[in-house]
A and B are shown apart, each in its own frame.
Chain A
């Protein structure tokens, strides 16, 4: 068992989500930065899709009831077990009764705690992850929650450290044109890439509203609902773009003018309210 002492601003159980059910209105969701969760799992010798805890802006404290190997990845947080600091991207040992506390990450938004064996809350529709938007899975964690741990199935960890590049001072996400770029005024894709955007406070696992110059639509009629993807940048009715993240609605009716490439989705999930953000046209279009 792992006991939640403090969840911080938002902590949820996450794995790699519920792929393949979007046609039924069930989005994939899962870890907002799946690459970080996979890394944390590899570091403790879990299968990559094991469930861990996604902490938002740090602040998470947990206590373990038995000896276990753990690792942190994603947004780098100062962290300590008692008075002993622990570094991200490296496995560390927690003895029975130890409390792990995360501070506020120096950059980025979402940090992942993996424990050997994985968090074993019951799976819902094939996943243990919390989908806040759809109301599936374990509710967001609260103080006093006790989460069962699974049995380790993969071999013990062999990597001591997985160095990660420092995030760039300013995030630049590479984008490809979206399906409805022609619904916006000519030059809107270029305008998206030319502007500096600000991540608004309206940012969660569903998506991020961006502040900056308004995008103008040239087609005013209602777009028949169509499938959405994580990384899609849609023009909201007020002209502000919204960047969709993993809990995006499966279908929507706002025109998508650009899509963040897969390799930059992790960076998109680490954007923090108040930060500035730029987009650049990806080369080597598909």
Chain B
């Protein structure tokens, strides 16, 4: 049974902290499908849900009471939409990740990475940048000491417990395992964002 802690966050938000990511996703999904009156946005984090409110319509106290009344349930794995991401495991950091993880070489890194099913825990950093949970703990390597000034769009990367695909070119300190042709964010497309919280992700290895 996960516990709920309600933390103060000024006069326009409440932060709900739970024990783990699945419970944060479960709470966020419930608040999104049946939002308390006056709630304007619901933002999952790694183990929190930020609830933004309109102070002209409600108050942090009323929202705290409404959040506390939601039964805590983890998001059921396997219920989210599934997105398959074709990936070439051709990233420049494969050798280094293999060394840091104590694996035989790039092929084993790729095989272990593609063997898991992932779920988008939360988004951040850039539009459509989803933090993917569920990776092989062996591949939990620290980020680079000095970030790259430019990581190309579509780069598949790992850092700590997370995997992610850069939706567009940007600076980045994560370790690059591969690349995909899939466009993760396109403001003109519906949906603009492919990887929303709760979405399941499977990487499908393409020949290098």
Mask for A164-208, Cβ within 8 A of B = 1, else 0? 000000000001111110000000000000000000000000000
Q: Does A227 contact B (CB under 8 A)?
A: yes
Among B7, B40, B126, B130, the residue within 8 A (CB) of A134 is B126
Stretch of A6-14, A213-221, A253-261 on the interface side: A253-261
Cross-chain contact A24 with B123 (CB below 8 angstroms):
yes
Stretch of A54-62, A104-112, A143-151, A244-252 on the interface side: A244-252
Contacts A176-B11, A251-B122 hold; do A23 and B43 have CB atoms under 8 A apart?
yes
Cross-chain contact B124 with A252 (CB below 8 angstroms):
yes
Complex: A97 Cα to B126 Cα, angstroms = 40
- Complex interface: chain A residues within 8 A of B55 (CB): 262
Cross-chain contact B15 with A179 (CB below 8 angstroms):
yes
Mask for A227-269, Cβ within 8 A of B = 1, else 0? 1110110000000000000000111100010011110000000
Among B15, B41, B126, the residue within 8 A (CB) of A25 is B126
Cross-chain contact B127 with A251 (CB below 8 angstroms):
no
User: In angstroms, how far is the closest chain A Cβ from the Cβ of B59?
Assistant: 6
- Complex interface: chain B residues within 8 A of A162 (CB): none
Complex: A225 Cα to B122 Cα, angstroms = 9
Q: Does B66 contact A (CB under 8 A)?
A: no
**A interface secondary structure, majority:** loop
User: In angstroms, how far is the closest chain A Cβ from the Cβ of B44?
Assistant: 6
- Complex interface: chain B residues within 8 A of A179 (CB): 7-9, 15, 17
User: In angstroms, how far is the closest chain A Cβ from the Cβ of B6?
Assistant: 9
Cross-chain contact B196 with A24 (CB below 8 angstroms):
yes
Q: Does B131 contact A (CB under 8 A)?
A: yes
User: In angstroms, how far is the closest chain A Cβ from the Cβ of B143?
Assistant: 11
Chain B residue with Cβ nearest A133: B126
Q: Does B71 contact A (CB under 8 A)?
A: no
Q: Does A275 contact B (CB under 8 A)?
A: no
Mask for B19-39, Cβ within 8 A of A = 1, else 0? 000000000100010000000
Interface residues of chain B, those whose CB is within 8 Å of chain A, are 7-13, 15, 17, 28, 32, 40-50, 52, 55, 59-61, 122-131, 168, 185, 187, 192-193, 196-197
Contacts A20-B40, A176-B10 known; list 19 others, CB within 8 Å. Answer: A23-B42, A23-B44, A24-B193, A26-B127, A134-B127, A178-B10, A180-B7, A224-B48, A227-B50, A227-B52, A229-B9, A229-B10, A251-B124, A256-B9, A259-B9, A259-B11, A259-B13, A260-B10, A261-B11
